[in-house]
Structure 1
Amino acid sequence: MQGATAKQLKFKAGRNLTDAYGQSWTVEKDIGVLDLLVNAAADALDYDEYPDVLKRLSGALHS
């Protein structure tokens, strides 16, 4: 959840989108929270401001 706006992003490893690091993710809700870019036609996920942010957050949450 993004602090001042209450926008939400849900993600989990695996499934439908593959990033530049070869990792796959399921992403729901507002991708703008983490400046993610989704190319639905190519099932691709790109990072803008925060490289590999989903893996970083996942690692922090599961440590």
Structure 2
Amino acid sequence: MLELMELAAGGTVAVAKGDLVNVEAFGVLHRARVCRWVAGHVLVDVGDGDFKALVYPDAIVEVVRRAAA
């Protein structure tokens, strides 16, 4: 599990590699899959894996689905 991250709504959640999350960027929600924690940011695959993005933890709005254990 990655360390605790603040949700935009003010709560906290732990996310793990492979979790499907909604990320807010430029006022738009994007579906993304968590890759790893990098220097205070979360590396995510955005959309269908077309590109990766480094986002601040508070850009994660919600966890849509947990990765299979």
Q: TM-score, normalised by structure 1?
A: 0.33
Larger radius of gyration: 1
Where relative contact order (Cα < 8 A, 6+ residues apart) is larger, the structure is 2
Q: Which has the higher strand share?
A: 2
Q: TM-score, normalised by structure 2?
A: 0.32
